[in-house]
Structure 1
Amino acid sequence: MNDNYKLGYENGRCDILRELKVEITKQSEPLLQKVLKEGTVTKYNSGQLDAINEISKWCINKVEKMEEAND
């Protein structure tokens, strides 16, 4: 593989992870609004929000590492 192909591949992976984070955020907003509106947090809601936050953090961390490697 040439360097241009590798860079394009890595940039594509970064873009996909960024899109995943956006989609996760879109899904978390209604859940967070529901929790705030009801004023109670169930174990189920808490677990969902925790999972969403962990996946989001993972995406951000991966993108940062990929960008550092490409610099």
Structure 2
Amino acid sequence: MNPFKVLFAALTVITMAIPGLVTAEEFPERPIELVVPFGAWGDHGRVCTLFCARAGQVPAQRAARGGGQ
């Protein structure tokens, strides 16, 4: 195989992986906001914030808001 193609492929993979590595490093610290369009938590169009590092807080937040089941 052509060494130039191998080097180019390796550089492409590394370059494409850098943003994912940076995001994964700070991922548990940042909340993820999801728009729930059809009231999955009791009302229409709510922006829900989920904390992946503390998934146990989500039901407590839902109960505090008086949300659905």
Q: TM-score range by the shorter chain?
A: 0.3 to 0.5
Structure having the higher helix fraction is 1
Structure having the higher strand fraction is 2
| Max Rg structure | 2
Q: TM-score, normalised by structure 2?
A: 0.36
